[in-house]
Structure 1
Amino acid sequence: MADPLGWDGYAASLARARERTGTDEAVVCERAKIGGHKVVVIRFEFGFLGGSVGTGTGALIEEALVETRALRLPVVSLLSTGGTRMQEGVPALRQLQRIARGLVLVREAGLPHITVARHPTTGGVWASLGAAADVVLAVPGAQVGFAGRRVRPESYGDDPAYTAENQYAAGYLDELVTEDRLTDRLEVWLGLLAGESRNRPAELPRALGALEPASDGWAAIQRVRSAERPRAGAYLDDYFDTYATLRGGVDDGVLCGIGSRGGRSIAFAAQTGTATTPGGFRSATRLIRLADRLRLPVLTLVDTPGAAADPAAERAGIGHSIAELFGAVAAADVPITTLVIGEGGSGGALAFCSADRIWLTPDACFSVIAPELAAGILKRPPDGIPALAGELKPRPEDLLALGAIDGIAGPEPVSFVR
C-alpha cells in the first residue's frame, strides 16, 4: 500500500527521496556488530521525507523486531524523524500500533532495546519506539519531544521544553551522549544488558563503615546520621567493576542502574541518605521491572530518613509511587538482595527492601519511625527522645533478635545460593 490516499505528486516525492538517500524507505534495518555484540539496528534516514513513518516503514520495522526475536539479539534504534507520513494518512498513523506491538513481543522475549534520539526526534516515533526503550540515549542539542517544530504553536517554537537537555532534566532520558561517543556508550550498555546474569541472588557487599555495635539505640541513630559515614557511591564503587545509571524520574538521592561484577550483570537501586521523592521511587520501579524482564538479579542499598513529606511530594503522588515500587518488588521473579547501609526510615526505606534477604551493616539502623517524630506523636518532651530511640530497637542486633532481618554484614562479601 505505497500510496493509499492517491496523494498528488507523492510517487514522485518517493522517487526523489530514494535517489537522494540511496535507501528504499525512511529506515534501514540490518544486523550489525557494536564492539563484540551482535545486534539488530533500526536506523532512520531523515533525508528520506523527514524520516517519516509510512506503511512501508512500519513493515520494515516490524520485520526487524521479528528478526530480533528469532535470533535473540538486542535491538538498537537510531532515531531521526519528524513523525508519521501525512501523505499516507491514517494507514501510516496506525503503523505506530504495529511498532508498539512488536516492541511488546521483544520485551516479553527478555531482549534489550536501546534507543538513541538524534536531531530531530519527534511525533509518534518518539512515543512508540523511542521513549519506551530499556535505555534511552540522546544527542545533546537534539530536538526531542512529541510535538514537532512545525505542529506546535508558533509561540512555543524555540521553547527549551522540546530539547534533549530538557528531557534529561525531567528524567525521561538516561544519558546525553555526543555523536563521537555513541559507539562506545552503546558497547558499554550492550555489555551490561546482555551480560551473564546467572539467576542467583546478588552477592552481599562488604560493610565499609564502623564494624563495632553502637552502645544503644540513640547512639546508633546519631552515628547513622554522621556526614563521615560511607554512602551508596562508595559501596557501588567498591562492589562493581563498572556500572552505568538509569533514570525513571528526577531524584538525585537515588542511584539506579546496572553494573558488572566479575563478568556478571547485576541491577541496583540505591538511596544516598536523603528523603526519597516520587521520582526516586519511580526510578527504582523502572529498574526492578527492567531487571525482572532481563532476568538480572537486583541489589538494593537502603539509606534514607524516609519518604519526602513536603507538599511537592504529595502533589507528585508520593503514595502512588511508593505503592508502585512495593508492587514491583512483590511481583519480581528475580532475586532481590538488600543491604541497609545507613538510616532505614519507615516505609520509604522498606519500599526498596527485598522480601526475603535484608541485611544491615553494623553502622546502620532501621526504624518504624524517627524517634523525634515518635516523640511528637506520643507527646513526649525533647529530653525523652534518646530513651525513645532505644525503645524503637533500631540497631542491627535488636532487629536480628526480633527476626526482622536476615543478618549483619561484615568486612567480607556474602554469597547466597538460591
Structure 2
Amino acid sequence: MARLPAREIIDLVSADFRELVVEHAAEPEDGPIGWPGYRDARDAAAGRSGESESVVCGTAKLGGVEAMLIAFEFGYLGGSLGQRTGDRIEAAFARARALRLPVVSLIATGGSRMQQGMRALTQLQRLARAAALARAAGIPQISVLRDPTTGGGWATLGAGADVVLALPGAQVGFAGSRVRPADAPAEAYTAEAKFAAGQVDQIVPPEQLAGALERWLLLLTSRSDAPAEPPAALRATTSPKTGWEAVQAARDGSRPRAGEYLDAYFDWREEISGDRCGGVDTGVSCGFGRRDGRAIAFAAQCGTATTPAGFRTAARLVRLATRLGVPVLTLVDTPGAANDAAAEHAGAGPAIADLFEAIATADPGSVTTLVIGEGGSGGALAFAAPGSTWVTPDAYFSVTSPEAAASILKLPAAEVPALADRLRLRPQDLVDLGVARAVVGPAKCV
C-alpha cells in the first residue's frame, strides 16, 4: 500500500482544509540533547517532504461535519514525535475543545524522535492528556491507522481513540519493524491482525475512507436526550400459553434474530469490533445507527452464548454512547454467558460486572432494551436496562434455563416442561413481575 503524504490524505477526505498555525519556541541548533547533525537532518526532511514538522493540523469539513484533522507526515523523519509535534497536536486538541469539534487523527509514524531523547518520549504524556481532556469534554475521537502506525503514536492517538479505522495492509504495532524480535511474524503487526484481535473497529480501503469518516462523524456528533424507542416485533404471534411454549418459541430456528431487527430498525449503521484487549465475540453486534434523522447506539446479542469479549465490547459501546449523549438500544438473545474454561480464563465474571456497571451508570432512561429471544440468566440480564425493558411475544427471560433448573434440583428430564411453567418466564409473566414494561406487537401498517 502506498504511503500517502499528509497533504494527500487530507485531500482524500476533505476539500476545504484550513491549517492551524502554531508558534514554536526556539530550540537549540541540534535539539534539546545536542544530537550531532540533527539540524541538517531536519532541513533535509523538510526539503523532501515540503513540511516543517512531522504533523499537519487544521480544521476541515467532512461531509456536513466540521472536524479537527491531525495528519502525520511520514516523509518528515518517519513521522516521529518530537517537541514541536507535541506543540501542534496539543494546540489542535485545545482548539477542538474550544470549538466543540470532533478530532480525526490520520496517523503514520515510526514512534518517538530518537534525536530528542526523553524530551521526545515525554510528548506521549502531552498527547495522552490532550486526548483525555477532549474525552472528558465529550469530544469524539477517530483514528485512522496508515502505514506505519507504531510506537507511541499507536499507543496514544491510535489505540486510544473512540473509533479506530485502519487502511488495508498498514503496519500497526507498538514495536516497529527494526526493534521487534527477529523471529516475530510480520503478519502479527498488521491492521488485519489488530482487527482480528479486537483492537481495530474497521478496515477501510482508501477510496472508501472519506465516506466512512463522514458517516462516523455524523453518528458520533448527534446528541439526543430522547431515549430509543423499542423496535416492533418482527413476527406476529400470540403470547404462549405455557412456559415451555415460550421456551420453544424463543428457540425456534426461524425466529427473527438481531440482524433482522437492526436492519428493520435503522436506516443505516456502522459497527465497532472487539474489546480492545485481544477479544472479539461475533455473537455480539455493537455500533451506531441512524434512525429517523438521529443517532442511536446498539449492543445486540445474536443468539449465541456471550463470551467475555462480547460483554466488554458492549460495555465499551455503552460508555462511549453515554459520554457522547447518544441513546442506546440493547437486544437480548442468548442462552446465557459462555461458561467453559476459556471463558473463565478470559474473565467472564469481571466482564459481566463491567457491563452491569456501564448500564447502571448510564444516564437515566438513556438505555432501552428489547428481549427478542432467549433471556438466559445473568448473561442476558447484563444487557438489560432496569425499568426500560420490553419483550417480544416469542421470547422468554429466566433466572436459569428449565434444563439447568432440573439439574440443580436433581429432577429427571421429564420435569423440564413443568419447571418452565414454575419459573414464570413467559412474556406476560415478565410484565406481571415488573421485569418488562410491555409485550411489543408487530409494526402497524400505515
TM-score bracket for this pair, using the shorter chain length? over 0.9
* Partner amino acid, structure 1, of 2:292: G
Equivalent of residue 288 in structure 1, options 294, 310, 318:
318
Stretches (4+) displaced over 3 A: none
Rounded Cα–Cα distance in structure 2 between residues aligned with 1:100 and 1:412 = 47
Query: 1:412: Cα distance to partner?
Result: 3.4
Mapped pair 1:4 → 2:23: no
Report the equivalent of 2:4. Answer: none
8 Å contact kept, 2:236–2:442: no
CA apart distance, 1:192? 1.0
Q: Which residue of 1 aligns with 2:392?
A: 361
Q: Is the 8 A contact 1:248 1:284 kept in 2?
A: no
Look up the match of 2:299: 269
**Structure 2 segments unaligned to the other structure (5+ residues):** 1-26
Alignment of structure 1 residues 73-222 onto 2, 5 Å: 73-156=101-184, 158-195=185-222, 197-222=223-248
Amino acid in the other structure paired with 1:243: R
Q: TM-score, normalised by structure 2?
A: 0.91
Aligned with residue 348 of structure 2, among 318, 323, 336: 318
Is this contact kept in 2: 1:272–1:304, CA < 8 A? Answer: yes
Instruction: Name the aligned partner's letter for residue 287 of structure 1.
Output: L
Out of 375, 381, 406, the position equivalent to 1:375 is 406
1:159 deviation in Å?
2.8
TM-superposed CA distance for 1:210, in Å, is 3.6
Which letter maps to 1:184? G
- Cα pair 2:227 2:367 within 8 Å, conserved: yes
Identical counterparts, % of pairs: 58
Structure 2 CA distance, aligned partners of 1:361 and 1:132? 38
Deviation digits for residues 78-135 of structure 1, max 9, x if unmatched?
Answer: 0000000010011110000100000011111111111100110000110011101111
User: Shift in Å at residue 198 of structure 1?
Assistant: 2.1
Q: Secondary structure at the match of 2:183?
A: helix
Matched residue type, 2:265: Y
Task: State the distance in 2 between where 1:391 and 1:347 align.
Answer: 19
Classify the secondary structure of the residue corresponding to 1:338. strand
Q: Given residue 351 of structure 1, which amino acid in structure 2 is its aligned partner?
A: A
- Write the distance in 2 (CA, Å) between the matches of 1:210 and 1:270: 21
2:289 corresponds to which residue? 259
Q: Secondary structure at the match of 1:313?
A: helix
Q: Distance in 2 between matches of 1:33 and 1:307?
A: 43
1:380 to partner: Cα distance: 0.3
Deviation of 1:255 (Å): 0.3
Structure 2 match to 1:68: 96
Q: Which runs of 5+ in 1 are unaligned?
A: 414-418
Where 2:397 maps in the other structure, the secondary structure is strand
TM-score (norm 1): 0.97
Rounded Cα–Cα distance in structure 2 between residues aligned with 1:213 and 1:408: 9
Contact kept in structure 2, 1:130 and 1:136, CA below 8 Å: yes
- For 1:25, which of 28, 53, 60 is the aligned residue? 53
Separation in 2 of the partners of 1:181 and 1:243? 15
* Deviation of the 1:71 alpha carbon: 0.8
Within a 5 Å distance, the mapping from 1:228-267 to structure 2 comes to 228-249=254-275, 250-267=280-297
- Counterpart selection for 1:46 from 65, 74, 94: 74
Displacement after TM superposition at 1:22 (Å): 1.2
Task: Give the Cα–Cα distance (whole angstroms) in 2 for the partners of residues 146 and 174 of structure 1.
Answer: 18
What secondary structure does 1:365 align onto?
coil
- What is the correspondence of 1:324-339 to structure 2 with a 5 Å cutoff? 324-333=354-363, 335-339=366-370
Q: Which amino acid aligns with 1:409?
A: V
SS at 2:149 equivalent: strand
Equivalence for 2:9: none
Q: Is the 8 A contact 1:248 1:286 kept in 2?
A: no
Distance 1:192 1:405 in 2: 29
> Among residues 29, 44, 48, which one is paired with 1:16 in the alignment?
44
| 1:112–1:194 contact (8 Å) kept in structure 2 | yes
2:375 equivalent among 344, 353, 356: 344
Amino acid at match of 2:377: S
Query: How far does the alpha carbon of each residue in 1:214-238 deviate from its partner, in whole angstroms, 9 at most, with x for none?
Result: 1200111011001100000011010
Instruction: Give the whole-Å Cα distance in 2 for the aligned partners of 1:60 and 1:311.
Output: 48
Deviations 1:179-201 (A, max 9, x none): 11111111111111112x32121
2: CA distance between counterparts of 1:290 and 1:252? 20
Alpha-carbon distance in 1 for matches of 2:98, 2:52:
24
Q: 1:227-261: CA deviations, max 9, x gaps?
A: 10000001101001111101233001000000011
The amino acid across from 1:219 in the alignment is E
1:336-365 CA-to-partner distances (Å, cap 9, x unmatched) read: 000000000000000001122011001110
d(CA) in 1 for partners of 2:429, 2:67: 51
Aligned residue number for residue 416 of structure 1? none
Structure 1 residue 290: Cα displacement: 0.3
Tell me the distance in 1 between the aligned counterparts of 2:117 and 2:310. Answer: 40
Name the aligned partner's letter for residue 80 of structure 2: S
The question of whether the paired residues in 1 share the 8 Å contact of 2:235 and 2:442 is answered with: no
